[in-house]
Amino acid sequence: MDLLNLLDHKKNTRVLVNGTIYVIGPDGVAKDIKDDDAAKLLQNDRVWKKYDPKKAAALRAAAKKAAKGRMQLIGANGPIAKEDKPGDPMDPNLAVYKRPDPTGPKPKETPQVPETAEAKEEAAPEPEDEDGEKLQIEDAGEDDSEWPDPDEGMDIGYLREMAEAYEVPFNVRTPKKTLVKRIHAAMYE
């Protein structure tokens, strides 16, 4: 008995059935198959059909139409959805892991301009005493002992302030863990 395999990628390959190897030809036909082996192959009726030269083209077209759009990844719990939808992060406290919605508007990133000491002095009015005389303020400098050791339990905003104080490079996507490592390295240089 001759059988037709409807899968294009199986042409010019072999199949093992009950200890016998059959060759699937370039036309997708496996020839001279024993009846009991053919019965076993025909159990998979989506792939194997009895070969009739007049109906072969129609069978292939029907199989392609039926299989169209059905290919998908299979996980341990069944088929995996095709759409990649953003979901909740593993740790909801870490905003870094939130993925943007691909269908929504793209967020505009504002460039971070580091504030210089000169700019701060220009913006702040000079303090005066009761008589209207300007007070002289000594620049105390930044005291490193004011900042505690950074850890991942701290708020991301606070860690960013520390990073600015120690002139640690970062951006809005820098995760807490990386920020903590960089700050720690800058503190103990």
> Which parts of the chain sit beneath pLDDT 70?
66-74, 78-102, 104-145
Q: What percent of the chain has pLDDT over 90?
A: 18
- Paired tokens of 165: 């104080």
pLDDT digits (tens, 9 = 90+) for 163-178: 998 899 999 899 999 9
Is 165 within the bounds of a domain? Answer: yes
- Domain of residue 31, residue span: 3-67
Is 10 within the bounds of a domain? Answer: yes
- Paired tokens of 54: 């007049």
Is 171 within the bounds of a domain? Answer: yes
d(CA 22, CA 15): 5
What local confidence, expressed as pLDDT, does residue 182 receive?
A: 92
Is 93 within the bounds of a domain? Answer: no
**Crossing angle of helices 176-187/156-165, nearest 10°?**
30
What local confidence, expressed as pLDDT, does residue 21 receive?
A: 92
d(CA 159, CA 163): 6
- Class of residue 187 by CB neighbours under 10 A (exposed 0-12, middle 13-18, buried 19+): middle
Predicted structure pTM score: 0.35
Helix (H, G, I), strand (E, B) or coil at 47: coil
Is 154 within the bounds of a domain? Answer: yes
Is 151 within the bounds of a domain? Answer: yes
Q: Report the domain count for the chain.
A: 2
Residue 18: its H or E element: none
What local confidence, expressed as pLDDT, does residue 36 receive?
A: 92
Q: What percent of the chain has pLDDT over 70?
A: 59
What local confidence, expressed as pLDDT, does residue 147 receive?
A: 84
Residue 123: its H or E element: helix 117-123
Is 56 within the bounds of a domain? Answer: yes
